[in-house]
Amino acid sequence: MTRPLRSPEIVVGLDLGSTKVTVVVGEVDADGITILGAGNVPCRGLRKGVVTNIDWTVRAIREAVDAAQNCAGVEIDTVYAGIAGSHVRNIASHGMCAVAGREVTPQDVERVLEGARAVPVDADRMILHVLPREYLVDTQDGIRDPIGMSGVRLQARVNLITAATSCVQNVVRCVERTGLDVADVVLSPLASADAVLSEDEKEIGVAVIDIGGGTTELLVYGDGGIAHSSVIPVGGNNITSDLAAGLRTPAGEAERLKRNYGCALNRMIDEDEQVEVPGVGGHAPRTVPRRFLSDIIEPRCEEIFHEVRRRMEETGLVEGVCAGAVLTGGANLMEGMVEAAEEVLGMPVRMGFPQGLSGLTQLVQGPQYASAVGLLRFAARQLAEAEARMEAMEESCEVEAPSTGAFGSGLIGWLRGAF
């Protein structure tokens, strides 16, 4: 467990989706994360998580950052960027190293993880994350945290999350063209899971289904770690396209109808409900039963959840998902998504809302904000770990440094004494 920061820090999460750009600003201190502001604007510069138009993407990032700055009253210069898309892959790997001093230290863990990531990767791909599933000390397996244990050999079973290098570089380039620095790039569904899951759910097994505009990302947790990760190239935009074709209406109107009147289960709609559908090409609007929209939406939602179920069955993880599934992503705002998922998956399903926040929480209350809030949590851990490493270095210098009399002890005093 990472220690809280001693002094408050401002962190910013930037979630680049296929239909929107979300920026959330938070302050991290010993009490947790306080939401200071947020910005959310539409974006047409990405498709299935991949940048297709740099100018449009840069414009959307700039507008979202400006909105978040005005709301929070702070200036943003560094962000943690989320990335997703069909180019993301998962690779199982294994690392092993000898324990230097008969007791596992943080340095031993770093060495075994470095060994696990030393696998052949295509020249056009890069490793985003090394996610430990379990550690083994000598012959004992199932270890979550090996630090402090006695042994002579340390092993790690990990999942490597890889992404197309060009896709990551294009995201970084878009952010930098707005005058911002990218502190780190994080897998968006991993951030979403961090924002909405409890430790108990991760321990007994849970599936996170992040349905965005262009893709659906699946993460399956078991024994506290990620057991499976995959991307399905179908999302909310496919539902919008189905509605535009079936109702013969512009795509923008189809998106509005989906958000305001869409339902993933036909039987949840009263027979007498009517919806006005705008025409296209000069045709007059017409009124159709709301159930007609659901007849178009329901098969596509079933397709997504059937594919999720199939991938979980292929990996043999269905029986291990005891806590059920959690839905995140903007496409899940439609009525009936939880009920449709429960029918197809055959397990309990709930909507994922960001947890454990304070401040202006009403700005980020929704499954569409899970990824951006998760990026804040990732940033908080990175800062706390960096602070812990700095403290360890200072303590090491104080122990090893010679006495310097009036100049005192510690790193600064040692430097003064030495020179």
Length of the chain as a residue count:
419
Average pLDDT over residues 320-349: 91
Position 397 confidence tier, pLDDT thresholds 50, 70, 90: low
Distance CA 371, CA 368 (A): 7
Average pLDDT over residues 58-63: 94
Sequence-distant (6+) residues with CB within 8 A of 204 are: 322, 323
Query: Is the pLDDT score of 13 beyond 50?
Result: yes
Closest by CA position to 189, among listed 168, 207, 167? 207
Distance CA 274, CA 284 (A): 16
Average pLDDT over residues 2-28: 81
What is the model's pLDDT at position 320?
A: 83
Which domains occur in the chain, in start order? 89-163 (3.30.1490.110), 199-353 (3.30.420.40)
Sequence-distant (6+) residues with CB within 8 A of 196 are: 208, 326, 328, 352, 353, 354, 355, 367, 370, 374
Q: Are the CB atoms for 83 and 186 separated by under 8 Å?
A: yes
Q: For 220-236, what is each residue's pLDDT tens digit?
A: 988 767 888 888 989 98
Cα 25 to Cα 33, 182, 189, 363: the distances in Å are 10, 14, 19, 11
Distance CA 45, CA 53 (A): 5
The model's pTM:
0.84
Q: Are the CB atoms for 236 and 330 separated by under 8 Å?
A: yes
Average pLDDT over residues 324-346: 91
What is the model's pLDDT at position 399?
A: 55
What is the model's pLDDT at position 404?
A: 40
Query: Is the pLDDT score of 361 beyond 70?
Result: yes
Q: For 25-54, what is each residue's pLDDT tens digit?
A: 999 887 788 999 999 998 888 887 788 899
Sequence-distant (6+) residues with CB within 8 A of 386 are: none
Q: Which stretch of 79-88, 157-166, 254-263, 398-407 has the lowest confidence by average pLDDT?
A: 398-407
Q: For 97-146, what is each residue's pLDDT tens digit?
A: 998 888 888 888 989 999 998 888 888 899 988 888 889 998 888 888 89
Count CB atoms within 10 A of the CB of residue 329.
29
Q: Are the CB atoms for 23 and 13 separated by under 8 Å?
A: yes
What is the model's pLDDT at position 118?
A: 86
Cα 149 to Cα 101, 113, 157, 344, 412: the distances in Å are 11, 17, 17, 44, 34
Position 392 confidence tier, pLDDT thresholds 50, 70, 90: low
What is the model's pLDDT at position 302?
A: 94
Distance CA 72, CA 261 (A): 33
Position 414 confidence tier, pLDDT thresholds 50, 70, 90: very low
What is the model's pLDDT at position 398?
A: 60
What is the model's pLDDT at position 8?
A: 79
Across the chain, mean pLDDT equals 86
Average pLDDT over residues 335-357: 92
Distance CA 140, CA 104 (A): 13
